[in-house]
Amino acid sequence: MNIFTRLGEFLLMLKGMFTKPENWRMYWKELMHQCVELGIGSMGIVAIISVFIGAVSTVQTSYQFVSSIIPRSVIAQIVRDSVILEFAPTITCVVLAGVVGSKISSELGNMRVSEQIDALEIMGINTKAYLVLPKIVAGIIMVPFLVVLAMVLGIWGGRFVGDISNILPHELYDKGLHDTFVPYNVTFALIKSYTFAFIITAIPAYFGYNVKGGALEIGRASTTAVVTSCIIILLADYVLAQVLL
Amino acid sequence: MITIKDIEKGFIDKTVIDGVSSTFETGKCNLIIGASGSGKTVLMKCLVGLITPDAGQISYDGEDFTSMDEKQKKIMRRKIGMLFQGSALFDSMDVAQNVMFPLHMFSNMTLGEKRKRVEEVLDRVNLNGAHKKFPAEISGGMKKRVGIARAIVLNPQYLFCDEPNSGLDPQTSLVIDKLIKEITEEFNITTVVNTHDMNSVMEIGDRIMYMYQGKKEWEGSNKEIIFNNSDKLNGFIFASEFLKDAKDMRMLEIKGKIDNNRDMEELLK
Ligand SMILES: Nc1ncnc2c1ncn2[C@@H]1O[C@H](COP(=O)(O)OP(=O)(O)O)[C@@H](O)[C@H]1O
Ligand SMILES: [Mg+2]
**Distance, CA of B161 to CA of B164 (rounded, Å):** 6
What would the mean pLDDT of A72-97 be, rounded to a whole number? 95
Put simply, the answer to whether A114 touches B88 (Cβ < 8 Å) is: yes
User: What's the pLDDT score for residue A82?
Assistant: 96
Q: How far is B23 from chain A (nearest CA, A)?
A: 21
Atom 14 (ligand 1): residue with closest C-alpha?
Answer: B39
* Closest residue of chain B to A121, computed from CA coordinates: B50
SS3 of residue B94 by DSSP: coil
Q: N- to C-terminal Cα distance for chain B?
A: 49
Q: How far is B174 from chain A (nearest CA, A)?
A: 24
What would the mean pLDDT of B57-62 be, rounded to a whole number? 95
| Domain ranges, residue B194 | 2-240
DSSP A35-56: HIIIIIHHHHHHHHHHHHHHHH
Ligand 1 centroid distance, CA of B16 (Å): 7
Beta strands in B25-124 (DSSP E): 29-33, 55-60, 63-64, 80-83
Q: Which atom of ligand 1 is nearest to the CA of B51?
A: 1
Answer whether A14 touches B (CB < 8 Å).
no
Put simply, the answer to whether B104 touches A121 (Cβ < 8 Å) is: no
Answer whether A28 touches B (CB < 8 Å).
no
What would the mean pLDDT of B25-43 be, rounded to a whole number? 95
Atom 4 (ligand 1): residue with closest C-alpha?
Answer: B11
Whether pLDDT at B32 is above 60: yes
Answer whether B111 touches A (CB < 8 Å).
no
What would the mean pLDDT of A115-119 be, rounded to a whole number? 96
User: What's the pLDDT score for residue B223?
Assistant: 86
Put simply, the answer to whether B50 touches A118 (Cβ < 8 Å) is: yes
Residues of B in contact with A22 (CB under 8 A): 74, 105-106
> Is residue B26 very low, low, confident or very high in pLDDT (cuts 50, 70, 90)?
very high
Put simply, the answer to whether B88 touches A126 (Cβ < 8 Å) is: no
- What letter represents residue A210's amino acid? N
* Mean pLDDT of chain A, nearest integer: 95
Put simply, the answer to whether A116 touches B105 (Cβ < 8 Å) is: no
Answer whether B80 touches A (CB < 8 Å).
yes
List strands edge to edge, sheet with B63-64.
B14-24, B2-11, B55-60, B63-64
Answer whether B104 touches A (CB < 8 Å).
yes
Size of interface A-B (CB pairs under 8 A): 54
Put simply, the answer to whether A110 touches B50 (Cβ < 8 Å) is: no
Domain ranges of chain A: 23-244
Element (H, E) at A73: none
Phi, psi (degrees; rounded to nearest 5) at A205: -60, -40
Contact yes or no for A9/A210 (Cβ under 8 A): yes
pTM: 0.91
Q: Judge if B223 and B245 occupy the same domain.
A: no
Instruction: Among A121, A125, A126, select the one facing B50 at the smallest CB separation.
Output: A121
> Is residue B238 very low, low, confident or very high in pLDDT (cuts 50, 70, 90)?
confident
Q: Judge if B164 and B263 occupy the same domain.
A: no
Element (H, E) at A183: helix A183-209
Q: At what angle do helices A133-164 and A92-113 cross, to 10 degrees?
A: 150
Q: Judge if B196 and B222 occupy the same domain.
A: yes
Per-residue pLDDT of B74-133, as tens digits, reads 889 999 999 999 999 999 999 999 999 999 999 999 999 999 999 999 999 999 889 999
User: What's the pLDDT score for residue A39?
Assistant: 93
Q: In this structure, what CATH number is given to the domain that contains residue B234?
A: 3.40.50.300
Whether pLDDT at A67 is above 80: no
Q: Judge if B44 and B70 occupy the same domain.
A: yes
Per-chain residues with Cβ under 5 A from ion ligand 2: B 41
Residues of A in contact with B73 (CB under 8 A): 124
Q: Judge if B245 and B229 occupy the same domain.
A: no
Q: Judge if B228 and B248 occupy the same domain.
A: no
Q: Judge if B176 and B260 occupy the same domain.
A: no
Burial of A216 (0-12, 13-18, 19+ CB in 10 A): exposed
Mutating to test ligand 1, I would choose from B11, B193, B197 the residue with most ligand atoms within 8 A of its C-beta, which is B11
Whether pLDDT at B269 is above 70: no
Q: Judge if B155 and B67 occupy the same domain.
A: yes
Ligand 1 centroid distance, CA of A127 (Å): 22
Residues of A in contact with B167 (CB under 8 A): none
User: What's the pLDDT score for residue B242?
Assistant: 77
Phi, psi (degrees; rounded to nearest 5) at B212: -135, 115
Whether pLDDT at A141 is above 60: yes
Number of domains within chain B: 2
Put simply, the answer to whether A22 touches B105 (Cβ < 8 Å) is: yes
Query: Which residues does a 6 A CB cutoff place in the pocket of ligand 1?
Result: B 11, 16, 34, 36-42
User: What's the pLDDT score for residue A65?
Assistant: 81
* Other beta carbons less than 10 A from residue A29's beta carbon: 13
Whether pLDDT at A66 is above 90: no
Instruction: Among B77, B85, B90, select the one facing A122 at the smallest CB separation.
Output: B77
Phi, psi (degrees; rounded to nearest 5) at A64: -80, -5
Put simply, the answer to whether B85 touches A110 (Cβ < 8 Å) is: no
User: What's the pLDDT score for residue B261?
Assistant: 64
Per-residue pLDDT of B141-180, as tens digits, reads 999 999 999 999 999 999 999 999 988 898 889 999 999 9
% pLDDT > 90, chain A: 93
Instruction: Among A22, A114, A123, select the one facing B86 at the smallest CB separation.
Output: A114
Contact yes or no for A35/A142 (Cβ under 8 A): yes
Ligand 2 centroid distance, CA of B44 (Å): 9
Q: Judge if B226 and B246 occupy the same domain.
A: no
Q: Judge if B30 and B57 occupy the same domain.
A: yes
User: What's the pLDDT score for residue B11?
Assistant: 93
Put simply, the answer to whether B78 touches A123 (Cβ < 8 Å) is: yes
**Distance, CA of B66 to CA of B60 (rounded, Å):** 10
Give B186 or B254, the one with higher predicted confidence. B186
Residues of B in contact with A26 (CB under 8 A): 104-105
**Distance, CA of B2 to CA of A65 (rounded, Å):** 80
* Closest residue of chain B to A19, computed from CA coordinates: B71
For the ranges A48-52, A118-122, A179-183, B231-235, the lowest mean pLDDT is seen at B231-235
User: What's the pLDDT score for residue B259?
Assistant: 67
What would the mean pLDDT of B233-253 be, rounded to a whole number? 80
Q: Judge if B187 and B69 occupy the same domain.
A: yes
Q: Judge if B152 and B254 occupy the same domain.
A: no
% pLDDT > 70, chain B: 95
Burial of A162 (0-12, 13-18, 19+ CB in 10 A): buried
What would the mean pLDDT of A232-241 be, rounded to a whole number? 97
